Homo-oligomer: A and B are copies of this chain.
Amino acid sequence: MSNPPKQMRATVKLMMNSVFTKSREQFFLPSNVIYLDGNSLGALPKAVVQRMQQVVGEQWGQDLIRSWNTHAWIELPQRVGAKIARLVGASPDSVIAADSTSLNIYKLLLSTLSMRPGRRIIISDIGNFPTDLYIAQGIVQLLGNQHELILSETSALADTIAAHGEDVAVVMLTQVDYRTGALHDIEHMTRKIHQVGALAIWDLAHSAGIVPLALEAWGVDFAVGCGYKYLCGGPGAPAFAYIHPRYHPDLAQNTLPVALSGWMGHSKPFDFDPYYHPSPDLRQLLVGTPAVLSLSALDTALDVFDGLDMAVVRQESLALTTRFIELMEPIAEQYEFALVTPRDPHQRGSQVSYGSDYGYHIVQALIQAGVVGDFRAPNIMRFGFTPLYISLDDVAEAVARFAAVMQQGAWRDQGLARLAVT
C-alpha cells in the first residue's frame, strides 16, 4: 500500500481521528486497561449487550419458535456472511457464517481434494496455526493416507510449491502468522499456487477486519476466518467460509461432494426428505441448526464496521504498530527482546511480537499493570492492535507502563522463582 501524497496526509489524519473516535465510543473497555489482545478475543461492542437482551428476552422468551421466521433466525448465516463479505472483498453470496474455523477448513479441504483427483500433496506452513494442520492430518488419515501433508518453512513455500508442481492439490495458509505477525501477500502467493494448477485455501483469522482484502479480485479459491478476533463477535463466535463465484456453478450443479451433509445444507430442509440434496449455493456448507445466540452477537458486532473503509483501517493499524515498535526500541534493546515481527510495515499484520526467555512472566506482570497482551509458547509476547478501539495515545501509555513494569522488576522475581522450581 503506498502512502498518500504529503498534502493529503493532514486531511486523512483528521478524517481518521474522527472516524476512530466515533468507533472507539462503540466499544466497552474496562477502565485503566489498555487491551492489546484483540487479536485473540476482540473487545465488546456496546450494541451487543442490547442485542443479546433482545434475542434472549424478547425473541426467544416472548416470540419463541416463531422467531425462526419473524426475526429471520434462519437467515442469520447468510446475513452475517454478507456483512463479512464486504470486509474481505467478496460478493455477499460468497461468504457464509457457521461453525468454527476448524470445521470450515475441514469442509473446504475435503472439497478441494475432490476437485484435484490424482494430486496427492497438501502444502502448508510449519508455522500455520495448529488447528489448520490438525484438520489436514485428520483428513489425510481418514482418506487412507493417499495424500501427504508437507509442512514447509514460510520462506521456502514458493519453492516447495514449485518443486511438487502438478502433485500439489491444495495449499492452505494463514495470511498473518499468529506468532510472528508476518503477512503473506495473498495475491502473489495465490498466483504461485495456481501456476501449478493447485487450489488455495486462505485462513484469514488474523486479517479479516483489520487488513484490506480483495479475495474475489485476487482470484482466491476458498477462505475461512474467525469471528471472535478483529470481527469482535464474542468468545467462540461462529466462523466464516468463502467460496469464489467461479465455483458457484459447481455448488448449483452439485458437483462438489459435501463433507458434512447436515439438514441446514439441504435444498429444502423443511421438507424432511429422507435423502440429502444439497442447497445449490453456499448454504451447503451449513450443517446443524444455526447457533442463534452466538450468530446474533456477531451480527451486531459487525455493525461497528459500518462506514469504515478498510484501507483507512489498515493505514491507522500500521500507524499503531509502527509507533509501538518505535517506542519499544529502548526497552527491547535493554532487555534483549527479539523483535520477531517484520519491521517493514507491508510485511506485517496488526500485531507486534517479541521473543524473550522471560516472556511468560513479563506478560503476567504487564497484565497486572493493565496492559493486556498474551504469551505464545515457546517465548513469544504478542501485542495486537486495532484502531477501532486502540489509539496512538493508548500505544504511548502502554509503552510507558511497559517501561515501568520492566524497571520495577516484578516479572524478574516471578520469572526467577519459576525457573528455580523447574
Decide if A377 is an interface residue (CB 8 Å cutoff).
yes
Decide if A207 is an interface residue (CB 8 Å cutoff).
no
B60 touches A134 (CB 8 A): no
Decide if A43 is an interface residue (CB 8 Å cutoff).
yes
A290 touches B259 (CB 8 A): no
A60 to B270, CA, bound (A): 36
A270-B377 contact in complex given A49-B56, A64-B41, A142-B257, C-beta closer than 8 Å: yes
- Per-position binary interface string of chain A over residues 47-75, scored 1 when its CB falls under 8 Å from any chain B CB and 0 otherwise: 01100110011011111111110000100
User: What residues of B have a CB within 8 angstroms of the CB of A169 in the complex?
Assistant: none
Contact residue among B37, B102, B260 (Cβ-Cβ distance under 8 Å from A65): B37
A interface residues, tally (CB under 8 Å): 86
User: What residues of B have a CB within 8 angstroms of the CB of A138 in the complex?
Assistant: 257-261, 276
Decide if A293 is an interface residue (CB 8 Å cutoff).
yes
Q: Which interface residue of A52, A291, A297 has the most chain B CB atoms within 10 A?
A: A291
- Per-position binary interface string of chain A over residues 225-254, scored 1 when its CB falls under 8 Å from any chain B CB and 0 otherwise: 000100000111111000000000000000
Contact residue among B103, B272, B288 (Cβ-Cβ distance under 8 Å from A262): B103
Decide if A266 is an interface residue (CB 8 Å cutoff).
yes
A13-57 contacts to B, CB under 8 A, are 28, 30, 33, 35, 37, 40-41, 43-44, 48-49, 52-53, 56-57
User: What residues of B have a CB within 8 angstroms of the CB of A297 in the complex?
Assistant: 56, 293
- Which chain B residue lies CB-closest to A297? B293
A101 touches B44 (CB 8 A): no
Decide if A346 is an interface residue (CB 8 Å cutoff).
no
A266 touches B134 (CB 8 A): yes
Decide if A374 is an interface residue (CB 8 Å cutoff).
yes
A358-415 contacts to B, CB under 8 A, are 367, 372, 374, 376-377
Selected interface stretch from A79-87, A125-133, A336-344: A125-133
Decide if A304 is an interface residue (CB 8 Å cutoff).
no
User: What residues of B have a CB within 8 angstroms of the CB of A130 in the complex?
Assistant: 263, 266, 269, 272-274, 276
B52 touches A35 (CB 8 A): no
A134-B263 contact in complex given A44-B61, A64-B372, A73-B235, C-beta closer than 8 Å: yes
A289 to B40, CA, bound (A): 11
Decide if A160 is an interface residue (CB 8 Å cutoff).
no
Contact residue among B44, B48, B65, B294 (Cβ-Cβ distance under 8 Å from A291): B294
A286-309 contacts to B, CB under 8 A, are 287-295, 297
Decide if A327 is an interface residue (CB 8 Å cutoff).
no
Decide if A271 is an interface residue (CB 8 Å cutoff).
yes
Contact residue among B235, B258, B263 (Cβ-Cβ distance under 8 Å from A292): B235
A65 to B372, CA, bound (A): 9
B99 touches A99 (CB 8 A): yes
A131 touches B294 (CB 8 A): no
B266 touches A228 (CB 8 A): no
Decide if A319 is an interface residue (CB 8 Å cutoff).
no
- Which chain B residue lies CB-closest to A110? B142
A236 touches B30 (CB 8 A): no
Decide if A141 is an interface residue (CB 8 Å cutoff).
yes
B137 touches A234 (CB 8 A): no
Would you mind naming 10 contact pairs between A and B with Cβ atoms under 8 Å apart? Answer: A30-B64, A43-B61, A44-B57, A49-B56, A67-B235, A68-B235, A130-B276, A137-B276, A236-B291, A236-B292
Chain A residues near B (Cβ < 8 Å)? 28, 30, 33, 35, 37, 40-41, 43-44, 48-49, 52-53, 56-57, 59-68, 73, 99-103, 106, 110, 126, 128-131, 133-135, 137-138, 141-142, 151, 228, 234-239, 257-266, 269-276, 287-295, 297, 367, 372, 374, 376-377
